[in-house]
Amino acid sequence: GENVEQHPSTLSVQEGDSAVIKCTYSDSASNYFPWYKQELGKRPQLIIDIRSNVGEKKDQRIAVTLNKTAKHFSLHITETQPEDSAVYFCAASQSAGGSYIPTFGRGTSLIVHP
Amino acid sequence: GAVVSQHPSWVICKSGTSVKIECRSLDFQATTMFWYRQFPKQSLMLMATSNEGSKATYEQGVEKDKFLINHASLTLSTLTVTSAHPEDSSFYICSASGQNTNYGYTFGSGTRLTVV
Query: pLDDT tens digits for B69-105?
Result: 999 898 999 999 999 999 999 999 999 988 766 668 8
Higher pLDDT, B2 or B13: B13
How many whole angstroms separate alpha carbon A68 and alpha carbon B104? 20
Would you say residue A75 has pLDDT above 90?
yes
Measured between beta carbons, the chain A residues lying within 8 angstroms of B44 are 44, 89, 104
Under an 8 A CB cutoff, do A43 and B49 touch? no
- What pLDDT is attached to residue A34? 95
Measured between beta carbons, the chain B residues lying within 8 angstroms of A104 are 43-44
Would you say residue A5 has pLDDT above 80?
yes
Average pLDDT over residues B2-9: 93
Edge-to-edge strands, sheet with A56-59: A4-7, A19-25, A72-77, A62-67, A56-59
Instruction: Give the bridge partners for A23, in sequence order.
Output: A6, A73
Any CB–CB contact under 8 A between A99 and chain B?
yes
> Could you tell me the end-to-end alpha-carbon distance of chain A, in angstroms, rounded to an integer?
41
How many whole angstroms separate alpha carbon B3 and alpha carbon B115? 28
Measured between beta carbons, the chain A residues lying within 8 angstroms of B107 are 36, 43-45
Query: pLDDT tens digits for B45-61?
Result: 999 999 888 889 999 99
How many whole angstroms separate alpha carbon B14 and alpha carbon B19? 10
Any CB–CB contact under 8 A between B77 and chain A?
no
